[in-house]
Amino acid sequence: MTMKDVAEYSGVSISTISRVLNNHPDVREEVRAKVLKAIQDLHYVPNSSARDLVKTQSDTIGVVVRGVENPFLTSVLRSIEEAIREAGYTMVIHQIGTEEDEVAEGASLVRSKRLCGLILLGGRFDYTPEETVSIEVPFVCCTYTNSFGSLEKTAYSSVYIDDYAEAYKAVKLLIEKGHKKIAVLLGATDDHSISELRYKGYCDALRNAGIEVDKSLVEQTRGYSMKKAYNATERLLARRNDFTALFTVSDSMGIAAIKALHNAGVKVPDDCSVIAIDGIEVSKYTIPALTTLKQPRKPMGYETVRILVDVIKGKKNCQLRLKTELREGETLAPPKR
Amino acid sequence: MTMKDVAEYSGVSISTISRVLNNHPDVREEVRAKVLKAIQDLHYVPNSSARDLVKTQSDTIGVVVRGVENPFLTSVLRSIEEAIREAGYTMVIHQIGTEEDEVAEGASLVRSKRLCGLILLGGRFDYTPEETVSIEVPFVCCTYTNSFGSLEKTAYSSVYIDDYAEAYKAVKLLIEKGHKKIAVLLGATDDHSISELRYKGYCDALRNAGIEVDKSLVEQTRGYSMKKAYNATERLLARRNDFTALFTVSDSMGIAAIKALHNAGVKVPDDCSVIAIDGIEVSKYTIPALTTLKQPRKPMGYETVRILVDVIKGKKNCQLRLKTELREGETLAPPKR
DNA sequence: TTGAAAGCGCTAACAT
DNA sequence: ATGTTAGCGCTTTCAA
């Protein structure tokens, strides 16, 4: 079933079919109707390979995401998908594992599928100009920006929250409640990731309040699974049982940590307050509901696509910083001791 | 950057490049090495549109999923993706909204991308032969089967759990604990969906235990979001406050229901037991941890792909029924009253 | 073992 | 307003 079949069926040439398909103006209404009917009758669907081949670039935007199992990224992905569709583009998702490199994978995807743009959803913070040139098309980093890298501002776009400042804000909330012994659960303190930035925010919030950072209150999960967060909390508890508050870098970690605290007989929030960053849906329904700084997931996805489309159409690259909003749950209380 | 460039760079013809790319045997080792080097030097990546165009079918498997926001489906998707990659195929995901029709979308995708096979992840249970012929390639229903439809067994494949029997099992567990007033939370009782099947299992488990089905203990959420489940539980509680156990058709609903019960002062499991079906990760970490029948998500994804690939290669269609496994949480107790 | 050449289905420039 | 035709980059006969 090709354009040729449709052409024969409706008694016109294939160029006319093409014109109808692409909404070109110069087709007689009568002919257009006839062709449309033929397309319907034959259940004709254009071959996108042929279409992409002849236009040396497609209308396809690639999204490279490291692991769809992350519920936060999943919900951003959802809004990216909506936005791409609304903008009239097609999306192709490419999932990668923890070890794979999103830039290399993305660059390969661009060439292979002749993408017109690329979205990196949850990636490294330290790209170099050398590696990103290989991407060749406009790209935007979604949920993060090039904090540790050496990219020119004009070379990429990003939509992100200020991880340092937001973590600072979260910890400050704990301090304002009266907490002094505040533990933190994070991926790692020195991996050039979101964790490192948020760790800095944690440290500075403490220092600016005159509290010294105590390394034995810092626990690294070495991964983002709930299981690892649970185990890390157990390690933390084995070492220290006197902290009155806990800051976790993600909601998932927060939920797992609360469970570990609970199982160890530590009541949240009475014995220990907990605050996190993300604001995924399920953490509204945990008991107690998690207090968290909610990332604007929907705007994040929509703005990412808007900026990408703008850059594709010739506008300048830009970095857009979004703000979180406190979603009050039930995990905050003043310290008892 | 095309094969032509690589050909010129390495001083051979494009057919030779093609042979190297496709691992054809008759290429001199020396020439093969030269070509491979050229490909590396030039960072050449084949244009998949051109490749797909010439081979009238691609090595691409399409996955149509209704809403990635469903955490259960998301984790099945993850294993499908792994399995497809391991089998040497490429995956294209197509998300659809609640109102769209997966069969029509899938059929269109097949023609548009010349797919060699299709996976429907979470779809309707009532396909007719007339609509599925349009799919044209082998397809498998993942997480469900054609319980309400009229498809011949030879016309499709599926990998699923026995929703009726598993719901029966869940409710039986509650009955064995001594419960008699058992409420149920589901999407709808008559929508030809997973909810309807599980509702039947609920009814029969009660009847076989000599308990009459009480309609006022049946609450329909009319959707699968946590918010709707929460609100439905509130409606249920407003109507009845004497049930001692609750069966929910999904983990997400179960978590939301527990929250609603908790907020209404009903203690889980002391005042009310809860059991669900799915076994997603987060429900291990809620307080109390949800008792649930865990679906074999990983095997489900892998078996789906294995069967699809088999059918693509000429084997017969088949329906594979998997079993759940009880994951004991902390939401089951005998009734107090 | 290698090269030349004919399409795969489509778009767009050109011709009518 | 409509038809003819030259590719887009690749695979695959067929010839050498």
Q: Where are the domains of chain B?
A: 3-46, 50-161+297-323, 164-294
Mean pLDDT of A260-286: 97
A285/B226 CB distance under 8 A: yes
Least confident of A66-80, B247-261, B316-330: A66-80
| B286 with A281: Cβ contact below 8 A | no
Three-state DSSP at B92 gives strand
Question: For residue B63, what are its two tokens?
Answer: 């996955």
Question: Residue A226 — pLDDT band, cuts 50, 70, 90?
Answer: very high
- In tens, the pLDDT along B278-306 reads 999 999 999 999 999 999 999 999 999 99
Interchain proximity B134–A43, CB inside 8 Å: yes
Same fold for the domain at B50-161+297-323 and the one at B164-294? Answer: yes
Q: Which residues touch strand D (CB under 7 A)?
A: A 11-16, 19, 25-28, 30-31, 50, 53-54, 56; B 2-4, 14-15, 17-19, 21-22, 46-47, 50-51, 53-55
Average pLDDT over all residues of chain B: 94
* Mean pLDDT value of segment A67-80: 86
- CATH code of domain B164-294: 3.40.50.2300
CA of A48 to C1' of C11 (A): 12
Strand C close residues, chain A 67-86, CB < 7 angstroms: none
For residues A299 and A305, what is the distance between their CA atoms, to the nearest angstrom?
Answer: 10
The two three-digit tokens of residue A238, written as one number: 């084995």
SS3 per residue for A122-165: CCCCCCCHHHHHHHCCCEEEECCCCCCCCCCHHHCEEEEECHHH
**Which residues of A fall within a CB distance of 8 Å from B46?**
112
pLDDT over 70 (residue A337): no
Given a cut of 80, whether residue A12 has pLDDT beyond it is yes
Q: Do B50 and A49 touch (CB under 8 A)?
A: yes
To the question of domain B3-46 being in CATH 1.10.260.40, the answer is: yes
Provide the percentage of residues in chain A whose pLDDT is more than 70. Answer: 99
Chain B CB contacts of A93 below 8 Å: 93
B25-51 per-position pLDDT tens digit? 889 999 999 899 899 888 888 988 898
| Other residues' Cβ atoms within 10 Å of the Cβ of residue B48 | 20
Q: Counting every residue, how long is chain B? A: 337
Instruction: Give the whole-angstrom CA distance, residue A66 versus residue A96.
Output: 5
Whether B58 and chain A come into contact, CB under 8 Å, resolves to: yes
pLDDT-based confidence at residue B184 (cuts at 50, 70, 90): very high
pLDDT at A38 over 80: yes
Please give the model's pTM, rounded to 2 decimal places: 0.90
Which of B69, B258, B285 is nearest residue A226 as measured by Cβ atoms? B285
pLDDT in tens, A89-124: 888 888 887 888 999 999 998 988 889 999 999 999
CATH code given to domain B50-161+297-323? 3.40.50.2300
Average pLDDT over residues B8-12: 91
pLDDT confidence of residue A247: 98
Task: List, in order, residues 6 or more apart from A131 with CB less than 8 Å away.
Answer: A103, A104
| CB-count burial class (<10 Å; 0-12, 13-18, 19+) for A251 | buried
- Note whether B49 contacts A: Cβ–Cβ < 8 A: yes
pLDDT of residue A62: 94
Q: Residue A165: what pLDDT?
A: 98
- Can you give the pLDDT at residue A43? 87
Nearest partner of B276 among B161, B175, B124, B169, judged by Cα: B169
pLDDT of residue A336: 87
Q: Which residues in chain B are closer than 8 Å to A63, comparing Cβ atoms? A: none
- Cα–Cα distance between A241 and A239 in angstroms, integer? 7
**B92 — contact with chain A (CB < 8 Å)?**
yes
Q: Is the pLDDT of residue B337 over 70?
A: no
Region of poorest pLDDT, from A128-137, B163-172, B230-239, B269-278: A128-137
- Backbone phi, psi, residue A119, to 5°: -115, 130
Is the pLDDT assigned to residue B56 strictly greater than 80?
A: no
For residue B227, what pLDDT is reported? Answer: 96
Residue length of chain A: 337
Question: Searching chain B, which residue's CA lies closest to the CA of residue A97?
Answer: B82
Reported as a pLDDT band with limits 50, 70 and 90, residue A52 is: confident
Give Cβ neighbours of residue A191 (< 8 Å, ≥ 6 apart): none
**What integer pLDDT is reported at residue A58 of this predicted model?**
79
Asked whether residue A205 carries a pLDDT value surpassing 70, the answer given is yes
Q: Inter-chain contact B49–A113, Cβ cutoff 8 Å?
A: yes
Interval B133-152 mean pLDDT: 94
pLDDT at B57 (0 to 100): 74
Q: Determine whether the interchain pair A286/B287 forms a contact, defined as Cβ–Cβ distance below 8 Å.
A: yes
Q: What is the pLDDT of residues B217-246, one digit of tens each?
A: 999 999 889 999 999 999 999 999 999 999
Question: Which of A:285-304 have CB within 8 Å of B?
Answer: 285-287, 289
Report the alpha-carbon distance of residue B252 to residue B231 in Å, rounded. Answer: 13
pLDDT confidence of residue A168: 98
From B288's Cα to the closest Cα of chain A, the distance in A is: 8
Strand order in the sheet with B117-121: B90-96, B60-66, B117-121, B139-142, B157-161, B319-322
Say whether A68 and B69 touch across the interface (CB within 8 A). no
Q: Comparing A160 with A69, which gets the higher pLDDT?
A: A160
Instruction: Give the integer Cα–Cα distance in Å for A93 and B119.
Output: 16
Average pLDDT score, chain A: 94
Average of pLDDT values for B56-83? 87
Average pLDDT (A159-177) is 98
Task: Give the closest residue to B185 by CA, choosing from B297, B267, B304, B276.
Answer: B276
Query: Given a cut of 90, is residue B125 above it in pLDDT?
Result: yes
> Which nt is closest to the CA of A51, judged by C1'?
C10
- Residues in chain A with CB shorter than 8 Å from the CB of B68 are 68, 74, 77-78, 81
What residues does B60 pair with on adjacent strands?
B90
Q: Using a CB-CB distance cutoff of 8 angstroms, which residues of chain B are in contact with residue A50? A: 49, 53
